[in-house]
Amino acid sequence: MQRLPPSVLWTGPTSWPPSAKTRGHLTRVYLSVQHLRANQLVAGWMEQLGMTTWQDAVGNICGRYEGRQEGAEAILLGSHLDTVRNAGRYDGMLGVLCALEVVAYLYQHNIQLEQAIEIVGFGDEEGTRFGVTLLGSRGITGSWPEHWLSREDASGVSVAQAMILAGLDPTRIASAERPKSDFSAYLELHIEQGPVLEEQGLALGVVTAINGARRLNCSFTGHAGHAGTVPMALRKRCAGRRCRVDDFY
């Protein structure tokens, strides 16, 4: 069994669907043609490693390398396959491809662990297309808000319509949920997206905590006034009130 060629993993040939406006960058959004092609590629690589593969009801690509006892709980490895616009090549993809390398080693050396290894390539983490994030992991955890099906992209295509066009059934989202008992752990290798490891000359770090994300829809009311003649004490600018909210967070 040959390892995945580096040209496929890191240099992005025509077989790895980039779809970016900037040369050397990637744009791959949820349920796009590029996303579905990426799912097919990853599924093919999984199958080469003796894994059982499936695409779940929200478009995540999944694979399982069985343990010594069939049906054993699994260690889940993976990351996301979608990108922001004009993204780099490592954000998300590194976690999926390195997970494949782990299974490749086990497969090539005929090793089965006590637990199974599962790999997931989440279809949406970034929220680039529909403005709502983590649709892939929300599907697996059973926390997908149903009203998000009506969210539309810049072309007016709703999440529900995009799912149908991709061959998915919006009424079956709940079937993507996996019980916690299926897994013993989740492990994700990810680029740092910060300067600490590089500055300290370290190749790898172990994350013990990460900041969460909270998004608010806010409306600010105010009154426009001349910048040169309205006294500061009498101004009711929206921008000033927004800055106070920013300071609070």
In the chain, the domains with their CATH numbers are 6-200 (3.40.630.10), 216-249 (no CATH)
> pTM here?
0.82
Calpha distance 31→28 (Å, rounded): 9
Range from 138-142, 193-197, 238-242 that averages highest in pLDDT: 138-142
* CA-angle at 13, arms to 124 and 189, nearest 5°: 45
**What one-letter code names the amino acid at 148?**
W
Q: In the prediction, which pLDDT does 139 show?
A: 98
Q: Which of 98, 79, 210, 93 is nearest to 137 (CA)?
A: 79
Strands laid side by side in the 74-80 sheet: 52-55, 61-65, 116-122, 74-80, 183-187
pLDDT range class, residue 235, cuts 50, 70, 90: confident
